[in-house]
Amino acid sequence: MEYLSFSRLSLLETCGLRFYFEYVEKRSPSDPVPLYHAEFGTLLHSLYEQHANSAGQDAYDVLKKRYDEIFPTLVSHFPDRATAVDFYKKGIAAIGRFSRYLVKDVVASEKEFLIETDVGVPPLKGYIDRLIHSDEHGYLVADLKTGRAFSGNDRKKRRQLVVYSIACESQYGSPADSGYFDFVVQGSRAWVDISEEDRAEARAWVKEKWHEIEMERFNAKYSRSFCSVYCPFRSECDTFLQRHHAG
């Protein structure tokens, strides 16, 4: 495998079989899944990045104009018009929030990284949504989330910011010792303090997951609501077919 990523390893943890189908066998999806959540998130990410890269010069009116140009291309992927309208309004509210952010301390937006975490483990690739630096607090990492809010104490989710901290240290010589998840739709943030112990745990987690891949441990994990709607390989999964029909 050429490289790993936080999202790939998180998928492996969620369901090893889906990871195997998607990244080892590289199968084409066999079952339809909703696209509108991901497409909506991608659109807001691009506007979030545009605002930072313009040093805040592309403010609300500019961002909303681009949003209004692109959003109609997503409408056909929503299950119905009411859902599309609801998401449109959520996007407008989110743009209204982050277009007011001060971005003078933003060092990079959508910063790509490719880092080594351990000997014999493929490099870890990803993108830091926002890297911030100030004389008072040093480096800080932020990740934009357009779905439901969650706690910064969620160990599995907070690893994403810890990985960003490791990438920050690799590229800038100093790690980020704090960060936050930016829930722009809800208008809230979940702050996370990041220690050296956190970074060591994240490196160990990457090594552990790579060992599972090497040992070909690709066990299916069943979750009724998630598998029946969001798995693009459900009709090829014996575990899903058995559990779904039995339930």
pLDDT in tens, 28-46: 999 999 999 999 999 999 9
For residue 115, is it within any domain? yes
- The percentage of residues in the chain with a pLDDT greater than 70, rounded to a whole number, is 100
- Cα separation, 179 vs 177, whole angstroms: 7
State the residue for tokens 């060092």.
Answer: 107
Q: How many domains does the chain have?
A: 3
Domain end position, chosen among 59, 88, 103: 103
- Cα separation, 145 vs 161, whole angstroms: 12
Q: Does 245 score more than 80 pLDDT? A: no
SS3 call for 46: helix
In 3D, which of 140, 119, 124, 150 has the Cα closest to residue 193?
Answer: 140
Output the domain CATH number for residue 178.
3.90.320.10
Give Cα separations from 50 to 54, 119, 206 (angstroms).
Answer: 6, 37, 31
Domain end position, chosen among 70, 103, 136: 103
If you average pLDDT over residues 202-225, what whole number do you get? 95
State the residue for tokens 């104009």.
Answer: 65
Q: Are residues 38 and 82 in the same domain?
A: yes
- Cα separation, 46 vs 37, whole angstroms: 14
Q: Does 149 score more than 70 pLDDT? A: yes
Spatial neighbors of 199 by CB under 8 A, at least 6 apart, are: 162, 165, 166, 169, 175
Q: Are residues 210 and 164 in the same domain?
A: yes
Q: Are residues 61 and 146 in the same domain?
A: no
SS3 call for 180: strand
Q: Are residues 76 and 119 in the same domain?
A: no
What is the total residue count of the chain? 247
For residue 43, is it within any domain? yes
Q: Does 186 score more than 70 pLDDT? A: yes
Domain end position, chosen among 85, 103, 121: 103
Q: Are residues 25 and 39 in the same domain?
A: no
pLDDT tens-digit map of 52-110: 999 999 999 999 999 999 999 999 999 999 999 999 999 999 999 999 999 999 999 99
pLDDT of residue 159: 97
For residue 167, is it within any domain? yes
- Contact yes or no for 187/97 (Cβ under 8 A): yes
For residue 6, is it within any domain? no
From the number of C-beta atoms within 10 Å of its C-beta (0-12, 13-18, 19+), residue 14 rates as middle
If you average pLDDT over residues 143-165, what whole number do you get? 95
- Contact yes or no for 15/8 (Cβ under 8 A): no
- Cα separation, 148 vs 133, whole angstroms: 27
Question: Which residue range(s) make up the domain with 129?
Answer: 106-214
Average pLDDT of the chain is: 95
Q: Are residues 19 and 59 in the same domain?
A: no
Q: Are residues 155 and 191 in the same domain?
A: yes
| Element at 190 (helix H, strand E) | strand 188-193
For residue 3, is it within any domain? no
If you average pLDDT over residues 167-180, what whole number do you get? 96
- Cα separation, 190 vs 143, whole angstroms: 10
Q: Does 247 score more than 70 pLDDT? A: no
- Contact yes or no for 214/177 (Cβ under 8 A): no
For residue 4, is it within any domain? no
Side-chain half-sphere CA neighbours of 242 within 13 A = 6
Q: For 16-31, b where at least 16 C-beta lie within 10 A, e where not — what string?
A: bbbbbbbbeeeeeeee
Q: Are residues 118 and 180 in the same domain?
A: yes
Q: Are residues 81 and 151 in the same domain?
A: no
Q: Which residues pair with 132 in a beta bridge?
A: 106, 140
Q: Are residues 233 and 199 in the same domain?
A: no
